[in-house]
Amino acid sequence: MPYLKIQTNLPLTKKAERNVLKNASALVAAELEKPEEFVMVAIQPDTPMLFSGSDDPVAFLELKSVGLPGRKTKRLSQALCALIKDHLGVPEERVYVKFIDVNRGMWGWKGGTF
């Protein structure tokens, strides 16, 4: 049930997109200790974005999950920022990560909720 959305102003090849998606999916599953079969990741490259008055490379990540523990967000932020730096070259100081803990009853799947 974790969902990670990555937005960046960088254009990416399809190969680069797949690489980021696969690595991000594995990272989220490992960090949240959830089966990867429930992890969904999306990437939106070439998004018009401005940060600190500059259009230098930037990324915004939003991680939503049922039961997202606040005690894990610091480590998740470090790991996700490192992933973005390694795969996209975006410096950590130009990455924002938003964490959202979703109530089970507000997350649907297979015609029901968790």
Q: What 3-state DSSP class applies to 37?
A: helix
Q: CA-to-CA distance for 56 and 8, rounded, in angstroms?
A: 10
Catalytic residue among 2, 11, 35, 91: 2
Q: Is 35 exposed, middle or buried (0-12, 13-18, 19+ CB in 10 A)?
A: exposed
Q: Is-catalytic flag, 2?
A: yes
Residues catalogued as catalytic = 2
